[in-house]
Amino acid sequence: MASTRSPKLTRILVTSSFNSDSSRVSNILFDPELDVNSTITTVVSKKKSSVQYDIYGRSALYLAIWLCNPHSSADCVRLLLSHPGIDRNFRNTEVHPEEVQCRMPWFPLALAMRKGNTEILTMLMADPPPFPSDCHYPQPRPLDFTAVLDDSWTPLHYAAQNGHARCVQLFLERLREEECKNKKRNKKNKKQCKKCSNCQKQWEEGEPKMKRCGRCKKASYCSPACQRLAWKDHKKSCKKFKESQLGTFLVKQMINKRLKAKQAIGHKLGVMVGGATALFLAAEMGHADVVKELLKYDECDFNLPSVDGKTPFMTCVIASNSSSALCQSYQKGSDRKPDSHGSLAIANMLLDLGPGKLNINAYQTCNDTKYAGGSTALFLACSANLPSLVKRMLTEYHGIIDVNIQRDLGTTALYIACQYGHYECVSLLVELAADTINVNLSMFDDPTNTPAAICLSPFQYLPTNARGSDENRQMCYDILFEWSSKLGRPSIVTNRVKQLNEIRKKSDVQDMIAGKDKQMNLVLNKLSSGCSKKELDQLMNDPVIGPKLKRLIDCGFLQSAAGK
């Protein structure tokens, strides 16, 4: 900090940086009365604009980066970084005295990565110029590459989510350089200490080795007596040693950094989800170039899930077909739209990793009864109608992939493909997994509620985006019937159909299906709008409504509604 601070110069510097006036910044930057890291508490207006901006607690460096887009000149940033006293780790003031909500304590590196300005990022990460001995500023700290915001977002998270592949590449390459430097420094420090930190005694050959401080691993002493004598002064700088302080695992530390678990169940696209890594965010938005950069590093854990069990592979499968009901429900209420072509490319890139790296049987966990957990990547691919991915999973991961994993409600990949009428996926499942698939796995452990039966359910109460067309579901039934006939067991798909037709002929069932029962109309509307398993159990236990629901379930009319 400068010995004499001039508020006037501080205001000129901050406002000049705000307006990208590099000539004015250059004129006052090295004035001895200027504190280059100070902030102002005021409201300013942008040049040629009547809009006012509150820049309370923001430094000149932050404002210069904030208002510099990827295509504009970064002269102000370059000038500020040339100052020997500039703090590259300076964080904005978190709380404004007149605001109820806290601000994000941004720092320059995170801001540059979020904006995707590679010129500024390169300047920030470059080694600073030599610090002059006659400078009246204290020597600033080196750039902290592992800094995070209070909500656990790292610079890498922001660049990955916004698709700044070049920034991701530069950042990870710089981390690797720092790792190499730290390894050399640590190797040098591991050599035998030849000088006592207290008495300055030189170690000589044949004498007992000097011992390091057990807490910080830095100071060394020739005897316990010297350590006790030095403790009064040493304790001021002695900090507990952590393996991360060595700086030899920077890439692994940052590339697998996960967000705090603030958002867990049913998160929407673009909303922070707990446990997400940079790879997860890039896969979620379909940024294939970013994923390609991340996959270059062996330290990247490709299977790290979010708190609800969704892996990067699963999230890009969801977004691979933007027209599917699955993807549309995922995007509902979000202003972010993923690149479906990019998501499909990412899914194929992750499949290329092979069974040794990609966990193909990972499944989504969920504790909320309204959102059924247990979805696997195969289940999601069948739900989103992605036959190309289904084919790759069944062929390249044959013998490893489990096609019979059931969700919490009992549905399988085959069941959901039949429900939506995705006949290509059904054909692939019965052909490529013929030796392992169980076509009789049913919802709620009901032996009559099978994939073949769901093909022929009427589904009048469900919206069209929650079911396939009658023609497509009939094609799914035909595929199953033909496949079972080849095996000599056509009864697995025909017996249930006969039973359904017999029940539907009865008048009370026909009245409920036709909407003549007003009480049941209200119940069916409630089921179609979304009903948890607990609420469904209450309806089933009702002495009046329960028997009627049982009749509709028996005839196949409520097979899918029960799953909601």
Which DSSP string corresponds to 395-415? Answer: HHTTTT--TT---TTS--HHH
Kindly report, residue by residue over 409-430, the tens digit of the pLDDT: 788 999 889 888 899 999 999 9
- pLDDT for 103-143, tens place per residue? 567 889 998 999 888 999 999 999 887 777 777 777 788 88
Residue 188 has a pLDDT of 62
pLDDT exceeds 80 at position 60: yes
CA 457 to chain centre: 38
If residue 10 lies in a helix (H) or strand (E), which one and from where to where? helix 7-18
For residue 202, list its beta bridge partners.
195
Query: pLDDT digits over 207-264, tens only?
Result: 877 888 877 777 888 888 898 888 888 887 787 655 444 455 788 889 999 888 654 3
State pLDDT tens for residues 178-220. 888 877 776 665 555 678 888 888 877 778 778 888 777 778 8
pLDDT at 516 over 80: no
Identify the top-confidence range among 44-48, 349-353, 456-460, 507-511: 349-353
> Residues of 55-78 as b/e, b for ≥16 C-beta within 10 angstroms?
bbbbbbbbbbbbbbeeeeebbbbe
- Per-residue pLDDT, 280: 92
Query: For residue 396, what pLDDT is reported?
Result: 94
Q: What is the mean pLDDT of residues 258-276?
A: 59
Measuring CA to CA, which residue among 561, 548, 560 is closest to residue 503? 548
* Averaged pLDDT, 378-383: 92
Q: Given this model, what pLDDT does residue 236 score? A: 78
Average pLDDT for 56-62: 79
Calculate the average pLDDT of the chain.
76
Please state, for a pLDDT cut of 70, what percent of the chain lies above it. 71
Give the contacts of 375 (CB within 8 A, at least 6 positions apart): 314, 363, 364, 383, 407
pLDDT given for residue 156 in this prediction: 94
Specify the higher pLDDT residue, 506 or 310. 310
Task: Return the higher-pLDDT residue of 220 and 32.
Answer: 220
Distance in angstroms (rounded) separating the CA atoms of residues 363 and 378: 10
State residue 346's pLDDT score: 94
Residue 215: the pLDDT is 78
Task: Give the pLDDT score at 368.
Answer: 42
Non-local CB neighbours of 372 within 8 Å, separated by 6+ positions: 366, 407, 408, 409, 411, 563
pLDDT of residue 246: 46
How would you class 141 by CB atoms within 10 Å of its CB: exposed for 0-12, middle for 13-18, buried for 19 or more?
Answer: exposed
Please list the alpha-helical segments (H only) found in 193-237: 224-234
**Pair 261, 151: CB distance under 8 Å:** no
Q: In Å, how far are 129, 242, 492 from 489, measured between CA atoms?
A: 79, 64, 6
Secondary-structure percent of the chain, ordered helix, strand, coil, rounded to 5:
45, 0, 50
Beta-bridge partners for 396: none
pLDDT tens for residues 70-100? 555 688 888 888 888 888 888 876 555 554 4
Quickly state the pLDDT bin for 44 (edges 50, 70, 90): low
Among 143-152, 273-282, 442-451, whose mean pLDDT is lowest? Answer: 442-451
pLDDT tens column, 518-554 = 777 777 777 766 667 777 778 888 887 777 777 676 6
Of the pLDDT bands very low, low, confident and very high (cuts 50, 70, 90), residue 445 is low
Asked if pLDDT for residue 479 goes beyond 70, the answer is yes
Q: Answer whether residue 459 shows pLDDT above 70.
A: no
Residue 442 has pLDDT above 80, yes or no: no
Arithmetic mean of pLDDT, 166-176: 94
Residue 341 has pLDDT above 70, yes or no: yes
Residue 493 has pLDDT above 70, yes or no: no
